[in-house]
């Protein structure tokens, strides 16, 4: 491709200044984040269906809750790192999507704590249910936002590979 | 074997006019995928309302008609099913458009997502069936809910993956890179 055409094609592409190796490493981190999301979803559904589905309540020290919370912390750490990478290496969209995900994870975690602290069960009252609902919906939104950040990183890698601008 | 034989010349490069047409089709796919993800999210939001606030009525009969009509009885349940149908149906235009630009992987992934959602729909009905007062089987009730949630996630993952191929193709078209080959 000619240089002028290439520059025109690169307009609107957000490749940042991290370089191909750094981008590939960040992409691996994003994949690890998705594995954490998967574990989070499965443990969450397990707790929701098999533990708090009836009259049983769940406490913060319950083993399944511990696994769920540790996974959520991993999600937060991975997403936060991707956000910082986005801000530091001029990838605005990656940074903004990840920032959105980080905010969702924080507010979602607060919702989860409300769920636990106000009873931790399906029959524990309106506050518990509201906390649970906010937690579920915001973690799902965080997943979607992290996914879009991942796609932007992936696109930057593909563009760099296509143009050999390493 | 090439992934996109018919869009390319023998060297694998895309003709500019054809490339522009493919680019437009890919951007239409992006729009449907945005809608699909919005509907996925709405399905979860409504699903969580069902999860926390919906109780299977004691007079529900364990037969298809009465369970099917129940889907329209509670607003949260109706919203959940409506958004699930909408999100699933977004795969149809994606499949049609992907076939037009010969993106086999996208077609297969969305066909898989539709299949997963169908299984989820059956499990959703079974959840209600096992929850009726005349059946009341807690274990199978829980199992069908768990399968329903798992296949929903499977569908989300499959559609997520489809976008990877669309982005790759979009970049390939834009920068006129030779088509990748499956065999050496």
Look at residue A7 and tell me if it is in a domain: no
Give the C-alpha separation, A157 to B4, whole Å.
Answer: 21
Task: Give, for all 184 residues of chain B, the pLDDT tens digit.
Answer: 344 444 445 455 556 677 888 999 999 999 999 999 999 999 999 999 999 999 999 999 999 999 999 999 999 999 999 999 999 999 999 999 999 999 999 999 999 999 999 999 999 999 999 999 999 999 999 999 999 999 999 999 999 999 999 999 999 888 876 666 555 4
Look at residue B78 and tell me if it is in a domain: yes
Cβ of A158 under 8 Å from any chain B Cβ?
A: yes
Dihedral-angle region of residue A125 (phi above 0 means left; psi in -120 to 50 means alpha; beta otherwise): left
Look at residue B119 and tell me if it is in a domain: yes
Beta-carbon contacts of B18 under 8 Å, excluding residues fewer than 6 positions away, are B7
Query: How many structural domains does chain B have?
Result: 1
Give the C-alpha separation, A145 to A101, whole Å.
Answer: 6
Give the C-alpha separation, A17 to A124, whole Å.
Answer: 51
3 state DSSP class of A122: coil
Look at residue A9 and tell me if it is in a domain: no
Task: Please choose, from the candidates A164, A161, A155, A166, the residue with its C-alpha nearest in 3D space to the C-alpha of residue A12.
Answer: A155
Give the C-alpha separation, B138 to A67, whole Å.
Answer: 25
Query: How many structural domains does chain A have?
Result: 1
Look at residue B161 and tell me if it is in a domain: yes
The parent domain of residue B54 ranges over: 5-174
The CA distance from A21 to the nearest CA of chain B, in Å, is: 18
Best residue in A48, A128, A146, A152 for a mutation probing chain B (most B CBs within 10 Å): A48
Task: Give, for all 166 residues of chain A, the pLDDT tens digit.
Answer: 677 777 877 888 999 999 999 999 999 999 999 999 999 999 999 999 999 988 899 999 999 999 999 999 999 999 999 999 999 999 999 999 999 999 999 999 999 999 999 999 988 999 999 999 999 999 999 999 999 999 999 999 999 998 875 4
Cβ of A132 under 8 Å from any chain B Cβ?
A: yes
Look at residue B28 and tell me if it is in a domain: yes
3 state DSSP class of A17: coil
Give the C-alpha separation, B27 to B133, whole Å.
Answer: 50
Best residue in A144, A150, A156 for a mutation probing chain B (most B CBs within 10 Å): A144
Q: Which two tokens stand for residue B140?
A: 């199978």
Look at residue A135 and tell me if it is in a domain: yes
What ipTM was predicted for this assembly? 0.87
Look at residue B71 and tell me if it is in a domain: yes
Look at residue A12 and tell me if it is in a domain: no
Look at residue A2 and tell me if it is in a domain: no
Give the C-alpha separation, A62 to A129, whole Å.
Answer: 19
Look at residue B111 and tell me if it is in a domain: yes
Cβ of B177 under 8 Å from any chain A Cβ?
A: yes
A-B Cβ pairs (cutoff 8 Å, strict): 65
Handedness of CA B73, B74, B77, B78 (dihedral sign): positive
Q: Which two tokens stand for residue B157?
A: 């993952």
The parent domain of residue A50 ranges over: 19-163
The CA distance from B90 to the nearest CA of chain A, in Å, is: 17
Instruction: Answer yes or no: do A151 and B175 touch at CB < 8 A.
Output: no
């Amino acid at each position: 491709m000619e240089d002028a055409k290439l520059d025109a094609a690169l307009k609107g592409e957000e490749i940042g200044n991290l370089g191909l190796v750094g981008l590939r490493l960040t992409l691996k981190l994003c994949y690890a984040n998705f594995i954490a999301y998967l574990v989070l979803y499965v443990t969450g559904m397990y707790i929701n269906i098999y533990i708090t589905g009836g009259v049983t309540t769940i406490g913060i020290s319950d083993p399944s809750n511990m696994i769920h919370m540790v996974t959520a912390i991993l999600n937060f750490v991975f997403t936060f790192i991707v956000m910082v990478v986005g801000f530091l290496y001029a990838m605005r969209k990656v940074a903004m999507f990840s920032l959105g995900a980080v905010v969702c994870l924080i507010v979602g975690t607060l919702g989860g704590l409300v769920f636990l602290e106000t009873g931790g069960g399906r029959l524990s009252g309106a506050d518990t249910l509201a906390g649970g609902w906010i937690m579920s919906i915001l973690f799902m939104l965080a997943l979607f936002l992290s996914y879009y950040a991942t796609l932007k990183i992936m696109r930057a890698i593909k563009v760099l590979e296509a143009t050999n601008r390493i | 074997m090439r992934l996109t034989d018919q869009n390319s010349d023998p060297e694998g490069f895309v003709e500019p006019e054809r490339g522009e047409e493919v680019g437009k089709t890919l951007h239409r796919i992006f729009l449907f995928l945005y809608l699909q993800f919005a509907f996925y999210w709405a399905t979860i939001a409504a699903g969580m309302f069902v999860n926390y606030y919906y109780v299977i009525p004691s007079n529900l009969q364990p037969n298809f008609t009465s369970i099917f009509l129940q889907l329209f009885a509670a607003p949260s349940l109706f919203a959940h099913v409506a958004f699930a149908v909408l999100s699933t149906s977004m795969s149809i235009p994606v499949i049609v458009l992907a076939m037009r630009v010969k993106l086999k992987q996208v077609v297969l992934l969305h066909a898989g997502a539709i299949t997963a959602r169908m299984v989820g729909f059956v499990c959703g009905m079974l959840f209600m069936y096992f929850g009726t007062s005349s059946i009341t089987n807690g274990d199978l009730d829980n199992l069908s809910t768990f399968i329903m949630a798992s296949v929903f996630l499977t569908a989300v993952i499959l559609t997520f993956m489809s976008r990877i191929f669309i982005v790759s193709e979009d970049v390939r078209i834009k920068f006129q890179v030779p088509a990748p080959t499956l065999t050496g």
